Structure 1
Amino acid sequence: MTEPQIDYAAVFRALPGMVALLAPDLVYADANDDFLRLAGRSREQLVGRYIFDVFPENPNDPGAAGMRETRESMLRAVTTGERDTMALLRYDIEDPQRPGHWQEHYWSPVNAPVFGPDGQVTLIVHRVEEVTELIRAFGGRGGDSRSRVLEAELYTRARELQEVNERLRKAHAHERETALALQAAMLPPPGPTGQHGAAVRYRPAVGALNVCGDWYDLVELPGENLAIAVGDVVGHGLAAACVMGQLRSALSAACRVTEGPARALDALGLYARSVEGAESTTAATTFVDWGDRSITYSCAGHLPPALVHPDGTVAFLDQATDPPLGARPEHVPRPQARAPFVEGSTLVLYTDGLIERRTEDIDAGLARLADTLTRHRHSDPEILADALLADLLPTTGNTDDTALIVLRL
């Protein structure tokens, strides 16, 4: 049985309700028949033209904000890759038959991104409900005073909600910028780090709040050995960034003065009891000894480090796992284990944003990680780090921040 051939262009034009397609630069790419009919424009008058050249703002309304709000909503959809629903909007339209005459209109718009094969936004779906008559009829028939008062009240409430929403957006954006700046000041910059040339990466989440709980660190130890750690604070935003900074500093100090990773995590766990917001933080710590070619490790509720052998086999270091920080009511010494390595192996530490997906089991993410590591095992650490991010993070952007360290042994 053959599948039916669907003319999607014909389907789009026949869609009920007003729908238009715009490029990311807000130039019309197409519009369906209802959009053309209700907007009073032909397809030739729209396609290839900038939206606000076709529909300029009413110059007779000094308080008009429809053009600014529509532009900001569309650009948010492009920037965030997420649907943006606007509040009730007044946007008057000039009568094409009578230049200079403006018709009062109320709209309820939604802007949604369309992604190309590369994961970038290629189109904006601009769907609009024309609600002018609904608002005018809200208080009854005709243009009596009660109807006009209720119309004004409904519009005013919608504008107030829109203003609150804009203030919240700006507050979230400011918090995100502050948290990212704080994290950037505390973490080593991406690129080769330390005398051993480890490659490090950090990718913030695409959402406005889901950032700044993850960290990584490299600590030089006596005898040219190295301690490597990653961690993940529960929570997001500025508060998580502050907790992350405290825990990262504490673990860095503990690695320098303790005999191994388990003792370092013990000290970190005791310290975390005095830090609000540090509960349930996860961390993985490894001590690399080049003298006897071994990795000693311990994990506090964290995903296991991956050791890639030159022949392509991947071993997850999962023999010293324990609950996250503060998960036990009483302090219990943490376990640690040791794994040998040969020259040319690669050690990879990462946080859950790299592999976890809400719709699948964690084993599927670990399998993807192992496959990518096997395929790129001979690559330079910098190239391997970029390959891991490219292969494992969603093309639409990661919903959780991601920290990553790649070290050639």
Structure 2
Amino acid sequence: MEDKAIDYEAVFQALPGMVALLTPELVYADANEDFQRLSGRTRDQLVGRYIFDVFPDNPNDPAATGMRDVRASMLRVVATGERDAMALQRYDVEDAVRPGHWEERYWSPINAPVHGPGGQVAYVLHRVEEVTELIRLRGGGGGSDTRARVLEAELYTRARELQELNERLRLAHAREREVALALQEAMLPARRQVGNHRAAVRYRPAVGALNVCGDWYDLIDLVGGNRIGVSVGDVVGHGLPAAGVMGQLRSALSATSRVADGPAQALDILGRYAHVVDGAESATAVTTFIDCDARTITYSSAGHPPPVLVHADGEVELLDRATDPPLDARPDPRPRPQAATTYAEGATLVLYTDGLIERRREDIDTGLARLSDALVRHRTADPESLADAVLLELLPPGGATDDTALIIVRL
């Protein structure tokens, strides 16, 4: 299909509702057909003229504030470059045919910036909905009818303002999501080789602008001998605060693991640190110390789902014999438990966060069984292919509502 240039002048004129463009000096640059028709002014009577020369306040109404309010709104748009939705305005209009005769009118305006190439406000887009009929007396009704219609118009305006606010919040959260994801990506290691072992790591953010969470993972070489440390964790919360806490906890565990006697002591120290980090409440973590010469895995969990060890023969072992409450869960911390297991060459260790296995209205054992089954069926694949297969089978087609971190290490 051949691309054709869009006639934006025709689009502007055909826009439903009253729409006008004004310069930053509040001079009309254009007005669409509905604006001309409903305001009772021709294009020649508008373009090139100062808005309040065309529509001054009613001189017979000393309490009139329409001109002042509209001017303040438009100047805010010019100064800030942001949209401004106004409350319901009474703004009487002089009859163009009968000079000196003023019509009582009610308007619900929105003023929005149109930015130029350099980012400056080049025009103010002035969109107006006339709501006079909502509050005008019908058949000479009494004052209570007038108040009811004013209230109806006010509710209409408030609903529209709420819609505008929700759109601003959506855009703000979308920007926050992008920053949080960039922060997480910068802080999470991209390493694929730990010691002599191949590893695959995956991070999948939750679907939805509001659901960027604090899932994290870490892979490190431990001091002394042929040993590596593999950990995952999950911070409660969303957005930039959760991403910031995630970075602090990951870095702290990485440091303590290099000097701790074992994973339990590493989590002990991390729990004490979490006690002084705002936003770390109820965070979970699990860490494993792998001795590649002795072929042992020592592990400890702070409220986190158990790692899965898939032996070379397909046997599945859940590392769930050293589970304790989340970080900072006890006012007086006590030593955490740890356990150990052995493995043979060709085994696969899998650590993950709850977004991989948990589903609403489903027991967690169902998710663990689903994960174990996928790991066994694809256990001969290399770590990268295995990670892709697990995510494909376990995550919903449209994406999960919680973040997911996954680490797969071939031992």
- With normalisation by structure 2, the TM-score equals 0.65
Q: Show the counterpart of 1:207.
A: 208
Deviation, 1:137, is 6.3
Rounded to whole Å, the distance in 2 between the matches of 1:59 and 1:363 is 57
- The correspondence for 1:382, drawn from 361, 384, 401, is 384
Rounded to whole Å, the distance in 2 between the matches of 1:269 and 1:347 is 24
Pairing 1:174–2:132 present: no
Residues 366-404 of structure 1, C-alpha deviations (whole Å, 9 max, x = no match): 010011011101110000111111111111211000111
- The correspondence for 2:359, drawn from 354, 357, 360, is 357
Question: Alignment partner of 1:257: what SS?
Answer: coil
Change (3 A) 1:328 1:141: same
- The correspondence for 1:322, drawn from 324, 331, 347, is 324
Q: Show the counterpart of 1:292.
A: 294
Rounded to whole Å, the distance in 1 between the matches of 2:139 and 2:367 is 62
For the 8 Å contact 1:302–1:324, the answer to whether it is kept is: yes
- The correspondence for 1:61, drawn from 16, 19, 22, is 19
For the 8 Å contact 1:300–1:322, the answer to whether it is kept is: yes
The worse-fitting range, judged by mean Cα deviation, of 55-64 and 325-334 is 55-64
Question: Alignment partner of 2:285: what SS?
Answer: strand
For the 8 Å contact 1:283–1:299, the answer to whether it is kept is: yes
Change (3 A) 1:388 1:142: farther
Q: Show the counterpart of 1:102.
A: none
Q: Show the counterpart of 1:194.
A: 194
Rounded to whole Å, the distance in 2 between the matches of 1:359 and 1:290 is 40
Question: Alignment partner of 2:229: what SS?
Answer: strand
Change (3 A) 1:329 1:143: same
Change (3 A) 1:58 1:253: same
Rounded to whole Å, the distance in 1 between the matches of 2:306 and 2:334 is 20
For the 8 Å contact 1:234–1:280, the answer to whether it is kept is: yes
Letter in 2 for 1:192: R
For the 8 Å contact 2:135–2:150, the answer to whether it is kept is: no
Q: Show the counterpart of 1:408.
A: 410
Letter in 1 for 2:398: T
Pairing 1:373–2:375 present: yes
Q: Show the counterpart of 2:285.
A: 283
For the 8 Å contact 1:212–1:236, the answer to whether it is kept is: yes
Rounded to whole Å, the distance in 2 between the matches of 1:166 and 1:153 is 20
Deviation, 1:143, is 11
Deviation, 1:197, is 2.3
Letter in 1 for 2:325: P
Rounded to whole Å, the distance in 2 between the matches of 1:296 and 1:375 is 26
Q: Show the counterpart of 2:219.
A: 218
- With normalisation by structure 1, the TM-score equals 0.65
Q: What is the root-mean-square deviation in Å for CA atoms of aligned residues?
A: 3.0
Rounded to whole Å, the distance in 2 between the matches of 1:171 and 1:143 is 47
- The correspondence for 2:306, drawn from 304, 307, 318, is 304
Letter in 2 for 1:208: A
Q: Show the counterpart of 1:393.
A: 395
Rounded to whole Å, the distance in 2 between the matches of 1:360 and 1:153 is 46
Deviation, 1:142, is 7.3
Residues 313-365 of structure 1, C-alpha deviations (whole Å, 9 max, x = no match): 21100011111111112111011111100111100000000000111110100
Q: Show the counterpart of 2:254.
A: 252
Aligned ranges 1:21-170 → 2 under 5 Å: 57-58=15-16, 61-62=19-20, 146=146, 152-170=153-171
Rounded to whole Å, the distance in 2 between the matches of 1:142 and 1:184 is 66
Question: Alignment partner of 1:275: what SS?
Answer: coil
Deviation, 1:298, is 0.4
Q: Show the counterpart of 1:185.
A: 186
Pairing 1:341–2:299 present: no
Deviation, 1:170, is 1.6
Rounded to whole Å, the distance in 2 between the matches of 1:351 and 1:271 is 21
Structure 1: 5+ residue stretches without partners: 1-51, 66-131
Question: Alignment partner of 1:197: what SS?
Answer: strand
For the 8 Å contact 1:139–1:150, the answer to whether it is kept is: no
Question: Alignment partner of 1:244: what SS?
Answer: helix
Computing the radius of gyration over CA atoms, which structure comes out larger, 1 or 2? 2
For the 8 Å contact 1:139–1:148, the answer to whether it is kept is: yes
Question: Alignment partner of 1:280: what SS?
Answer: coil
Letter in 1 for 2:183: L
Q: Show the counterpart of 1:109.
A: none
Residues 22-52 of structure 1, C-alpha deviations (whole Å, 9 max, x = no match): xxxxxxxxxxxxxxxxxxxxxxxxxxxxxx9
Rounded to whole Å, the distance in 1 between the matches of 2:20 and 2:213 is 42
For the 8 Å contact 1:139–1:151, the answer to whether it is kept is: no
For the 8 Å contact 2:349–2:408, the answer to whether it is kept is: yes
Rounded to whole Å, the distance in 2 between the matches of 1:135 and 1:282 is 58
Task: Provide the aligned length of Structure 1 versus Structure 2.
Answer: 291
Rounded to whole Å, the distance in 2 between the matches of 1:344 and 1:135 is 78
Deviation, 1:192, is 2.3
Letter in 1 for 2:349: L
Q: Show the counterpart of 1:228.
A: 230
Deviation, 1:140, is 6.9
Rounded to whole Å, the distance in 2 between the matches of 1:349 and 1:148 is 62
Rounded to whole Å, the distance in 2 between the matches of 1:348 and 1:334 is 22
Residues 241-264 of structure 1, C-alpha deviations (whole Å, 9 max, x = no match): 111111100000011001111111
Rounded to whole Å, the distance in 2 between the matches of 1:359 and 1:386 is 26
For the 8 Å contact 1:136–1:151, the answer to whether it is kept is: no
Residues 53-89 of structure 1, C-alpha deviations (whole Å, 9 max, x = no match): 9x96338633899xxxxxxxxxxxxxxxxxxxxxxxx
